[in-house]
Chain A
Amino acid sequence: MLDSMYGAVELGLLYSLMALGVFITFRILDFPDLTVDGSFATGGAVAAVLLSNGYSMWIAMIAAFLAGTVAGACTGLLHTKGKINGLLSGILMMIALHSINLRIMGKPNTSLLDIEPMFSSISPIWVKLIVMAVCILVIKFLLDAFLRTDMGLALRATGDNPRMIRSFGANTDNTKMLGISLSNGLVALSGGLIAQQSSYADISMGIGMIVIGLASVIIGEAIFGARTVFWATLAAVLGSIVYRIVVALALRVEWLEASDLKLITALIVIVALVLPSARRAMKQKSMAKKRSAQLTAEASKTPTPTGGAR
């Protein structure tokens, strides 16, 4: 039991960079980017090829990140310069990446059994988890800092009020491309991390990632809130961990199959998306009831002018 929890936290940390990437596009840019499914596998593929060819872990991870930024830039170009609908740009890129990833690896999957995963020499396991968490948090803090720079502010304003930031001289095409690139860079880095950790990269490893990323972001926001950038990015990281714990628990339920996972994830996202608006509607309705009761009470107190002399 404890072992599977440790495993879940570890996976959550590795996937948290993917959640941060999804956070950048969905929450900051307000751009539903579906490239993620493709770019996650791109990261895995690039890392796997470099690692199996004897390159160092660092180089493999940096290359995975860069490959992701290139994929993101392509989606950004399709959307901003090609004026293709945002969802469609992402889907096109995702499909294209499927072939590209196959080209990168040269085969549908690559085994990395003779490669020592990062931090695997650290024991006991909780020390290893702390070291990993620190590394992830460093990336989180770098992202926070970036989002507070002049460039980062323009990026955030692009999602918040593009018309306004254009009137202050920012090219929103460029800020969008920057955001989508950065996002997919993080997603691909996450894919690289997962590949080295599981000693395996697979052409289909990215399928469903976008929904998992969204689920992480949404769960994180629901539990930890997202009032400031600091909390929002922290929530994405923690949301990713919570998601993996939920999955680990769900897998212990006897009548659930591992293949039901994607359905469960989709359900989590659906519930999380529907709940807030349903709650808001309910609140409004009860408020309206209360107010109209008040108003009728007031109206019955003051005598209504009926008839009367003119």
Chain B
Amino acid sequence: MLELSNVSKLFYPGTPDEKIALFGINLKLNPGDFITVIGSNGAGKSTLMNVISGVMTPDTGHVKINNSAITHLQEHQRSRWIGRVFQDPMAGTAPHMTIEENLAMAYSRDKSRGLAFGVTARRRKLFYEQLGRLNLGLEKRIRAKVGQLSGGERQALSLLMATFTKPQILLLDEHTAALDPSRAELITRLTESIVREMKLTTLMVTHNMEQAIRLGNRLIMMDKGRIILDVNEERKKDLTVAQLLGEFEQISGHKMTDDRVVFG
């Protein structure tokens, strides 16, 4: 499915400000994997997402999807395989366009964009059904501008849009971090059910330790641009937050520092 080999990414190389965002990352996702990613601030989690989605090109190494190299494809060229939800609820939708127009753009992700109308009666029916699955009543506001929605509603819509065309890879970068706890819980539940139903191969960055353990079938921990721990499904089952933090300190030699960290 997705394969990263020896991927490194440096910022300001050779200057006093040099930042090693990723260093020698090897990661292989199997179809249907749901991997949670944790790590302290600046560990390189977002950079990992950016390198996979093509926002940044790695300095060394390769990225492959389904065994074809995509390392040098631009973001828009590989986005037909990759769905993304960002941390910022404002980032994943176009605020001055309507819900149905946003969905139409998501619908065209893996198609070429021509001169056919974006919102047709047939598509609107599909959008209506899909919005209904979110249970937020958004289907009744299908002609409302997205800018009028709350952060949680926008994030739910972003999630639906990102998964609409059943992408090969779903990348979630702390997509609940900017929401209040009840909204975050709602989005987490939606994520779980969508990923399960569509059997999406998913990489999810989270700052919630408990969630990282509970969700998915594999957990990786990052620090200073490296993957320092890779926990498989069996071990993950009876892992506790305390154990996880203990392991982190032992391997990295310092405490987990994350300004947004939630332990349980």
Q: Which of B75-126 contact A (CB under 8 A)?
A: 75-77, 79-80, 82, 84, 86, 90-97, 101, 104-106, 108-111, 113-119
Instruction: Return the chain A residue nearest B53 by Cβ.
Output: A167
Interface-side segment among A119-127, A156-164, A180-188: A156-164
Contacts known (A160-B96, A165-B105); A153 close to B110, Cβ less than 8 A: no
Interface SS of B by simple majority = loop
Asked whether A172 lies within 8 Å of B76 as measured between CB atoms, the reply is yes
A218–B241 Cα distance when bound, in Å, is 57
Interface-side segment among A144-152, A192-200, A209-217, A264-272: A144-152
Shortest distance from the beta carbon of B119 to any chain A beta carbon, whole Å? 7
Asked whether A148 lies within 8 Å of B91 as measured between CB atoms, the reply is no
List, in ascending order, chain A residues with CB within 8 A of B119's CB.
148
List, in ascending order, chain B residues with CB within 8 A of A152's CB.
118
Q: Does A166 contact B (CB under 8 A)?
A: yes
Complex partner residue of A153 from B77, B79, B97, CB under 8 angstroms: B97
Instruction: Return the chain A residue nearest B95 by Cβ.
Output: A160
Asked whether B97 lies within 8 Å of A149 as measured between CB atoms, the reply is no
Asked whether B114 lies within 8 Å of A168 as measured between CB atoms, the reply is no
Contacts known (A164-B94, A166-B79, A169-B109); A148 close to B84, Cβ less than 8 A: no
Q: Does A99 contact B (CB under 8 A)?
A: no
0 or 1 for each of A63-107: is its CB under 8 Å from B? (1 = yes): 000000000000000000000000000000000000000000000
A94–B96 Cα distance when bound, in Å, is 31
Instruction: Return the chain B residue nearest A145 by Cβ.
Output: B117
Interface SS of A by simple majority = helix
Asked whether A164 lies within 8 Å of B91 as measured between CB atoms, the reply is yes
List, in ascending order, chain B residues with CB within 8 A of A164's CB.
91-94
Q: Does A170 contact B (CB under 8 A)?
A: yes
List, in ascending order, chain A residues with CB within 8 A of B96's CB.
156, 160
* Residues in B lying within 8 Å of A, measured CB to CB: 53, 74-77, 79-80, 82, 84, 86, 90-97, 101, 104-106, 108-111, 113-119, 161-162
8 A-B pairs closest in CB distance: A160-B94, A150-B113, A169-B79, A153-B118, A157-B94, A161-B94, A168-B109, A151-B113
